[in-house]
Amino acid sequence: MKVTRKDLGKSQIELLVELSVAEFAPYIERGAQKLSETVKIEGFRPGKVPYDILKQKVGEMSILEEAAHLAIHKTIDAAIDENIKDQDVAGQPKVEVSKLAPNNPMEYKISVAILPEIKVGSYKDLGIKQEEVKVDKKDIAKALSEVAESRAQESISEEPIKEGDKAIIDLDLFLDKVPAEDGQARDLTVLVGKDYFVPGFDKSLLGIKKGEEKNFSLPFPEDYHQKNFAGKMVDFRVKVKEVYNREIPALSDDLARGFGLKKLDDLKKFFMDNMVHRLKQQNEQKSEIAMLDKILDKSNFGDLPESLIQHEAEIIMSELEQEIVKQGGRFEDYLKSIGKERQQLMMELLPQAVKRVKSALILKEIVKAEDLKISPEEIDQKIEDLKIQYKGDPNIEKMIKDAGYRGYLGNILANQKIIKKLREWNIS
């Protein structure tokens, strides 16, 4: 096997691997054997079809392609290990067959991204201060008010819409007397008094009855998320389809009992504890970001592989999409609301992806510098915890059994451990 290494710059290496006719011959034999097990030819048992007859049936290139697949699978690891000894490979290599013809050497290319050289700056005694948790009484009052509203009793009303009512409407928006793009909604629910949609919209509904229509105009804010409406005077046509009177329960012990608690004070404490926990997590996250930013500022990086950045941007995009779907939205609607195509958003995510890649690489280097080890027992314990947590989930159970999962889990545990150490050294 002959391997030629070529440095492409920007942390990319290309390996050209050539197998001579003699070296490739055994793989042709095995490829033919494998194909003959799946091809039905009358008069021959599976796996016992002579080469010439198989060639007539499936074509010689089909045999050679199967042989190339087997050859790559068998030789790629050795080609990388022997020719990229001094650098760490990032991600999965890309493979492309570059020469494949009868009675010729077989040749393929391996494109590999390598981790850049990193000089880690100071990562101790950085003096990061974490904000104290402060819960505003107004936030507790707001939470209690929202809970009470969620328990409102609703009844159909024939009276004109008043403050606090719920209305079901059909809505049409017009720009310069022309129906606006994405400016139609049917059976839209509006809680009157919540400053729904744009400022002034709710008040414009006051006094309308079920079955009535009203036309009015309102200015949209300059920073409105739908660019075709932002900063413009828009005409509204509203038809009221239903009106509901809403009776909101008082903030009392009865309300608390609806949540399995005894007193209103218990409900207040429940919200207080939740807010303290949430704010503490937010403050911890902020201080960790500030800490990593300082470490990154003090460190130097070689060229980052573009494939690594692209992969990270795709992960961020996927996380964003999952979050929107989790909240009951559609990602396509979100893209439309911000006036961007998927590729445009991907480009905007690249700086964030670069930062995340750098942060991961820095943590890896600090783990090495501190000689931090994760024991097999720690990985075993984490796997047992995951088995209990995701019991009955076939996808998670399959992932846990995967041969490479222990290494992946070891990296996660090492990152968690080094973050804990970095917090001890840097955050007060």
- Comparing CA positions, the residue from 243, 237, 351, 363 lying closest to residue 299 is 363
Q: Examine the pLDDT at 86 and tell me if it is beyond 80.
A: no
Q: Examine the pLDDT at 427 and tell me if it is beyond 90.
A: yes
Distances (CA, A) of 373 to 255, 263, 289: 52, 50, 24
Q: Examine the pLDDT at 402 and tell me if it is beyond 80.
A: no
Q: Examine the pLDDT at 21 and tell me if it is beyond 90.
A: yes
Distance from C-alpha of 73 to C-alpha of 70, rounded to nearest angstrom: 5
Tell me which amino acid residue 342 is.
R
Contact between 186 and 257 under an 8 Å Cβ cutoff? The reply is: no
Q: Examine the pLDDT at 399 and tell me if it is beyond 80.
A: yes
Residues 267-277 have a mean pLDDT of 93
Residues 130-155 have a mean pLDDT of 91
Q: How far is CA 350 from the centre of its chain?
A: 14
Residues 256-267 have a mean pLDDT of 92
Choice between 232 and 228, residue whose per-residue pLDDT is larger: 232
Distance from C-alpha of 116 to C-alpha of 308, rounded to nearest angstrom: 11
Q: DSSP letter at 354?
A: H
Residues 362-366 have a mean pLDDT of 93
**248-257 burial, b for 16+ CB within 10 Å, e for fewer?**
eeebeeebbe
Tokens of 304: 């980052």
Distance from C-alpha of 47 to C-alpha of 55, rounded to nearest angstrom: 14
pTM for the full predicted model: 0.68
Percentage of residues of the chain with pLDDT beyond 90: 64
Cβ burial of 241 (10 Å; 0-12, 13-18, 19+) is: middle
Tell me the per-residue pLDDT of 287-306, one tens digit each, with 9 for 90 and over. 999 999 999 999 999 888 88
Choose the weakest-confidence range: 82-91, 344-353, 417-426. 82-91
Contact between 198 and 221 under an 8 Å Cβ cutoff? The reply is: yes
Q: Which domains does the chain have, with CATH numbers?
A: 2-114 (3.30.70.1050), 152-247 (3.10.50.40), 264-426 (1.10.3120.10)
Strands (E), 137-232: 153-156, 166-175, 178-191, 213-219
Tracing tokens 């400022």 back to the chain, one arrives at 199
